[in-house]
Amino acid sequence: MDRKWISANRLSKEYEIGVKEFVEFAVKNAKDPNRVVCPCLKCCFGKRVREDELEGHLVCNGIDQSYTCWIRHGEKKKGNINFENSSTYASTDFDTDTYEPDRVDEIAKAVEEDLRDCPKMFESLLSDAEKELYNGCTKFTRLSAILKLYNLKASNGWSDKSFTELLTLIKDMLPDDNELPSRTYEAKRILCSIGMSYERIHACPNDCILFRNEYELLKACPKCNVSRYKKKESTPAKVVWYFPIIPRFRRMYRSEEDSKHLTWHADERIRDGMFRHPADSPQWAKIDHEYPEFGIESRNLRLALSTDGMNPHGLQSISHSTWPVILVIYNLPPC
């Protein structure tokens, strides 16, 4: 099927015919024709709409021009798994609210693009998503079991030590051929590939540079000539812990619920002159006025950077210098 219409003028006959062909294809392959994922520039795969709404959205808002392989609407991509039709090991048979559908297929689809340059990592993730927790298990895969258990750890504030003890106990309870990791460290390594990772970047003790890019192989700072390491070369003098934000932003917009929250300030905010949210402030309006191309798109993220505990000149009587740097997303609604 020719996809040139995607970049055509929305008022052209070519675009109109292309939209009709896409809607027909999407509805034909949808599990529920009344809940089709919308790829228009406003919904950005974050909403599900009816057939008539889908055509209207694409004509009025346009379509994501990078969406040339319709994997979100049932098209199989050569060399990849068709996640729409793959089996889901979601434990929906439980009567308790603790176990929600694990959405492993959705996670795999979300990280496929991010791991395109790391085929081995994606293959490992895909293998864990398909591997039974133990022989004959139909409710959980290795990945879904780890996700559910780690979610309980995070929700209840369990320490790594207590979580390791729990994993060891559960592993002993399961059949001998089970694939559950026995340590927190192993579980974290598996989850790293779906975006829960971080980078440790060595820094100059005097904060001149970060030892990355062209400085990555240096053993001393090129500006102040101070050693990168302590007495032993295996121990860095100072380390920056960095959590990559771009993959996290992408994942937020791939979640229907999260993407709805990120545009809440434009779609659902009450406008009555009261100051309830940063979007009600004159500073927000000033940004919209000075940068109209940025302000007109409600999906653009507005961020705030904050920190605490800084002691740059050693004025405080503290023996450590841990500086948490926090990035806040202003788009989100109040709690």
Q: Looking at per-residue confidence, does 257 or 330 come out higher?
A: 330
Tokens of residue 116, six digits: 């395109």
Tokens of residue 216, six digits: 């990555």
The overall average pLDDT reported for the chain is 79
C-alpha dist (Å) from residue 29 to 32, 45, 309: 9, 16, 54
Query: b vs e for 153-178, b when ≥16 Cβ sit within 10 Å of the residue's Cβ?
Result: beeeebeeeebbeebeeeeeeeeeeb
Q: Which tens digit of pLDDT belongs to each residue from 128-159?
A: 778 889 988 888 888 888 888 988 888 788 88
The predicted pLDDT at position 222 comes to 92
- The whole-angstrom separation of Cα 294 and Cα 234 is 45
112 close to 122: Cβ distance less than 8 angstroms: yes
Q: Which tens digit of pLDDT belongs to each residue from 301-325?
A: 999 988 776 666 555 566 666 677 7
Q: Which tens digit of pLDDT belongs to each residue from 233-286?
A: 778 888 888 877 887 787 788 777 888 889 988 888 888 888 888 999 999 999
Q: How confident is the model at residue 91 (pLDDT cuts 50, 70, 90)?
A: very low
The predicted pLDDT at position 143 comes to 86
- The whole-angstrom separation of Cα 267 and Cα 272 is 14
The predicted pLDDT at position 335 comes to 67
Whether the model pTM is above 0.75:
no
Q: Which tens digit of pLDDT belongs to each residue from 256-265?
A: 788 888 998 8
Q: Residue 72 pLDDT > 50, yes or no?
A: yes
